[in-house]
């Protein structure tokens, strides 16, 4: 069985390499036969065309298909116009999920930037910085499902007077007069608890990006500011922070996309119950439980449209950074 799979793998690699060689060799010969003006105009497309084809097959065509399905009925046969959008956007469950998604989009990027930047700045000043960075970075390697299980134990709740098996409630009830909190069941704490668990898995990414950006700030500027009598806070506020603004935008937009894609951790920890639904869980239930492809496609389209402005902002920021470089 293993030998057969290795043979298939080697065969696939050989086919891909052969097809690539044939494409480049054949395309180059074909272009060489054209007039020089056409050759120069079409040569870049010879190299770009495979990437464009992959993007079209894996992104553009599925996106267009999803938008088209959002205008069809549950079975994808009859045209229903905007009925799916009207139906899902008037559903109280979807409205709750939309409110929760907005909460995620506001809190997760802001807290990730705050925690990542704070740790990156403070870690520069201590001898055990590698340990601090490693401790914050390690959760990135934990899958969302595993993180959900870990934080389910952390948030576990038992009624007041019973032995608390959840770590947070065990610590909380040590203090006199404090009762255990039903973190995932309470409507006031459920979403915050899920966002905090996601922050645990993402703060390391923010910290690493900010740490790299901090190393690019010229040390001479810090020394000049201190010689002029600037305080540590003033040096950070007027010297360091302006250099980090592009990085803040990149981290914030990345975390916003993570917030809009939130699903697996919510699915594992609450399955959207107790007022913790997000748009992704609504889409999942519409497709796999309700068997309504039209509604699911409408919710997916809303999510996709929410991501587009963020991607445009990110691309513009990237182009501005390249232009300044």
The DSSP call for residue 82 is T
Instruction: Go through the chain and tell me how many residues it has.
Output: 325
Taking only the tens place, the pLDDT of each residue in 108-164 is: 999 999 999 999 988 888 888 888 888 888 898 899 999 999 999 999 999 888 888
Domain at 83-324, CATH class: mainly alpha
Report pLDDT for 136: 85
Report the SS3 class of residue 72: strand
Report the SS3 class of residue 79: strand
Contact 152, 270 (CB under 8 A): no
d(CA 129, CA 291): 51
Report pLDDT for 325: 58
Residues sharing a CB contact under 8 Å with residue 261, sequence separation 6 or more, in sequence order: 280
Taking only the tens place, the pLDDT of each residue in 178-227 is: 899 999 998 889 999 999 999 999 999 999 999 999 988 888 888 888 88
Q: What is the pTM of this model?
A: 0.83
Contact 282, 299 (CB under 8 A): yes
Q: Give Cα 252 to chain centroid, integer Å.
A: 10
Domain chopping of the chain, boundaries: 1-70, 83-324
pLDDT band at residue 43, thresholds of 50, 70 and 90? confident
Average pLDDT over residues 247-274: 91
Q: Average pLDDT of the chain? A: 89
d(CA 217, CA 198): 30
């Amino acid at each position: 069985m293993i030998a057969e799979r290795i043979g298939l793998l080697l065969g696939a690699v050989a086919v891909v390499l052969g097809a690539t060689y044939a494409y480049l060799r054949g395309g180059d010969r074909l272009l060489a036969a054209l007039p020089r003006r056409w050759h120069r105009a079409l040569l870049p497309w010879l190299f770009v065309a495979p990437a464009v084809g992959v993007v079209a097959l894996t992104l553009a065509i599925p996106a267009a298909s999803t938008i088209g399905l959002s205008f069809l009925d549950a079975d994808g046969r009859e045209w229903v116009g905007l009925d799916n959008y009207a139906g899902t956007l008037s559903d109280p469950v979807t409205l709750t999920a939309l409110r929760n998604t907005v909460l995620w989009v506001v809190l997760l990027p802001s807290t990730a930037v705050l925690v990542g930047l704070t740790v990156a700045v403070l870690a520069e000043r201590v001898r055990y910085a590698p340990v601090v960075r490693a401790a914050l970075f390690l959760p990135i390697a934990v899958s969302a499902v595993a993180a959900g299980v870990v934080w389910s134990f952390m948030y576990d709740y038992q009624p007041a007077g019973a032995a608390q098996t959840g770590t947070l409630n065990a610590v909380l009830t040590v203090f006199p007069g404090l009762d255990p909190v039903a973190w995932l069941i309470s409507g006031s704490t459920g979403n915050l608890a899920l966002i905090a668990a996601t922050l645990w898995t993402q703060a390391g990414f923010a910290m690493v990006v900010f740490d790299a950006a901090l190393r690019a700030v010229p040390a001479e500027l810090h020394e000049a500011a201190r010689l002029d009598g600037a305080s540590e806070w003033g040096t950070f506020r007027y010297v360091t922070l302006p250099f980090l603004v592009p990085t803040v935008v990149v981290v914030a937009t990345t975390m916003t996309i993570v917030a809009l894609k939130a699903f697996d951790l919510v699915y594992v920890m609450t399955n959207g119950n107790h007022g913790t639904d997000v748009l992704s869980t609504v889409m999942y239930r519409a497709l796999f439980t309700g068997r309504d492809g039209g509604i699911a496609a409408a919710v997916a389209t809303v999510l996709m449209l929410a991501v587009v402005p963020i991607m445009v902002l990110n691309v513009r920021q990237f182009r501005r950074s390249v232009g300044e470089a």
